[in-house]
Structure 1
């Protein structure tokens, strides 16, 4: 939507229209509108003055003399009011401010004419008034109809000009898309071109090629990191790489030094003019030159060196690229991505070139193209190459330009042509997954006609390959699910959930989706884990979209890594969807920061139980550190003994003071969330005094109390620790807080 009439201007148009119509009626029904007339009551404000005595154009003299100016002005006022009403009716339509501008200009100019007429007639209609009444009743009221419309018109004009300028700039940027007004000769020429049987060449485009420098000598001139990158690119193309620079080898990047010591490149310290470079290139048989930095000696200016190398390469007709100097380059290096194959790099490469206009942008475009293609597209290309190799011995490359679906005879030597057409059909219609999965036996069967390989749209009975997603459900509140997690829950066909995933999350799963919840209990954790992995694998093999739903984040004590490796071993690469970890969200939901300036500058997270329930070594005490312990509430006595007991293998570092604050966070972000606030000395008794609400976590450190009340952020500055704890707990052994903050009702819970 373009520029629209400002609201204050619309208000003026509406108000002025009512007043103007009222004035029009006064003029057109004279003398019945005059004092004593039958309609005088309608125009009581005029007649109270009375206005017939102020301005004789509105009074008896003009009426009795038959002066037509008054009624002529009234008719123009009607036209003005129509403009106002049309503008108001159009609202935000682009034409509304234009019509409003016309009306405002008309109002101001009409009133100007009225005043000028009075000036040039020597104040013949108003000069008889006392000065006060002249200025207040006649001048001020009439000037209002000049000043306000003029300001409003200026505002509209400025707004319209700015809007037109923006559109003009946009059109300038799209000139190549615009249909220009052409001369008759140009139109005729264009029509003749359209009748030509073949397209006309449009110059200015460099020629993209793939160059194969296998076993050919190439030269990299430079001593910077870009030179090392160019060397690697050329080595991957199997070229014989020479590196030249005016510096000692020891001054070059470590990568070039390493490759030279391993005989991967030939290094020459070299400097000279055009003749010396030409002789060097001729002696070495150089076929391509890449210059990355042209200041190869302390005495040679960069431009002169580049010119010398460029001239030498041109004299020998050798392609050359000089970094950041397109005027000295006959080719450019595109941004290249090489896709992985089944066994190492594949033959598929994607190259993006901006022809020197945007190298950084080329890299971004290349990354986005690579990210959108399937990971196995390289293996698909390699398999098509093998198919071509098997079908090609008796076929010509010219067949690659034959129409794809042209019928082919099955007789005699054309059997080989049929094989090649099969390759073309498969390249066009098969999915990348199917092409990447072709075995050597399947390739031979297809080409020999022993097992006709059907096209995908004829494959009604082929089972679809499923997928597995490890999805973090966050701490518990539905609004803390990521968008990706919510999408996975809505589109999965089988969901395998951990037991501790809150009911609020489970309630979001569509009723039609198959759901299995882990049968996990103390002593059965490993069996439950194995069962869930086997169910996920069976579902994926049956073509299901399987979601392994885990509380928090799959990789934060969620055993997600074990599942990734298990599924990979059985042929499935699981997609891992992050979740908000309770280690961070839990304290936050209780108003506890895990780091806080002046209180805690280090955050450490660990588990309270190792594999098979074995004890773990906890970190030692550090005043500025916050320690989060997951899966430790059920083992609180063991955890406290490790933290506060004598030095031993259960703790790596100093013992924790018994007055140190501790928070037990339970069911964080659920409606019944709770935090138990206490000290290491009293927390065990506090937990025994209340019913446990798993899952829970332990947070140890001064951060547990730093935002209570007015806050205490001076602990690291030497505050009295015991006095601070006494104030925090108000003399109690522990305190609890329950429930979500009131404002969390604003967030969706389903």
Structure 2
């Protein structure tokens, strides 16, 4: 044991005073921080102290069998006194000094553990290797104050069949430093700005300056006089000063501002590194202005949008360049803000109020997993379609026993789904204009009998009773896949000349923005569980408007006759005396794959195609076609039931499928928001796509395409799939694996450059 004690003591002295802590030649990066040096010293001292205590206990319990032969003077003078006084000259210190070492190092370890968090541990493991990267990974926080997080590695596509690992990226988070102690170093205006930011976020701010506060920026003195900050003066740059100051104030974050280039009395790089080393040893996140290598977090450029009645909203937009260009971050932020409507903050606040109202009863939300995907299937309300019943009178005259009551928990679930989809599909302007009565009315559908409210409750829309009495007309218009540039000329003309427009919820706000402000507009409440009720309401409003002399446009996504229920409306309006005009639109079934560079027909790959819906009438399942190698399968309205669809396509039993089983390795693409600036495709195979979707957020609306067309134009292309009639399962799986580059999935998003330029000019 004596040999081990000596070895631990030497190891501690070497790690603490001799080892080059910042050398990049150190084999183990963690050695640069000597995180285990206090542990080594503490273990050695504790071993010495424990061994000595055991000696005394052994003698006591064996009735002084080893030293009892000494007389009293010899016992106290030679055995006890030499140990208690602290010296055994043959070996090392036994009691007093080991005890003091244990207290000192134990206190240091305890303080480090108390201020440690899981995120800071992750940062420390990564930060040791940041000097090996030209762009250190840092973390910026969306509101005002960042914390360090171990960076994730984004996978970027190098070509169609391979992927590489990008440099470490920051992980932006919204951080609330309420009641945390924050240290701001500096006396300039930037220090005042940082102190104000932290103070507004609820932190306890202490400002440290090298001179008195009378020489500091006047804003700092105002903050001090208002009691919003504390102040300390620290003139020295000794590391011991900072190592003692930080724990004494229980500091959680440090921000150094007096290192700005061109600043008066600028702090030197050596001094900045001293502060950085002190923070690193205590695992305190630090930001040093104009010193990205010594910063473990960065401040983004933040804009907070105004809300209603002049009050700031809860919406903030933050942009960070990870310390590589602060002014560029500000410029990018301004560009983003200028492209958003000024009342988008009010829209966010209104959605928040809707969420609160929808969750008014707490029972449903005790479960942490209450975030329900927008596309999750929901059972439909028992509302018959008036296009099949024949008239509103028949609908209202149905037997009372057909009504199915919903429990309060089911009503809560539907209300919350409604709010989710309102925030996704309603325009910002519409959401921002909602008043308190509108918020209550928007949720009233689920507060009453669901079977009757679909015909009695609607969001506020323009009164159509005051229009002219001449005979009106009805136009069914397809708005195309989503971008205004893909709207037909006839459809655009109809939008400009209509007097009443009844729009489906999927029509994007960019299309609705083309409608003159004087035109009456109503958006369908076709949310989960209310498909029939909303469809009935829209047909009733269209008929009433036409009877009042309005030029009514039923605006639909895609094409009215491609899963748009246009045929039902034509027959309903004809039965009630109006022959409607149908204007075709570009169907997303064809345009969606095209926008993602996927041909639905291609020689050598796809000789035909089959188009299906993922959900039947009243939410029921539909029978899917079997696998044909030369025929891709396109599914609209199927993303919500992707798990069920894949099971049907790939199962051996074939239940719900009419034909051969689809191989699990077959390529599949989930296309979302086709033709929109944020369009995205998730590409994988049938047996891997479910896992991929769990890792990504959703962007409805979406569609599914299954088949070899998904990969045929990737990279140099693969357009000879059908030429090999005897291809084995192994060879075909190899093609798909090569296309995915060994990954589970690939993602491509955004419009191609040519499309961005073209559609931008059209819009």
TM-score band by shorter chain is 0.3 to 0.5
TM-score by length of 1: 0.38
Choose 1 or 2 for highest CA Rg: 1
TM-score by length of 2: 0.38
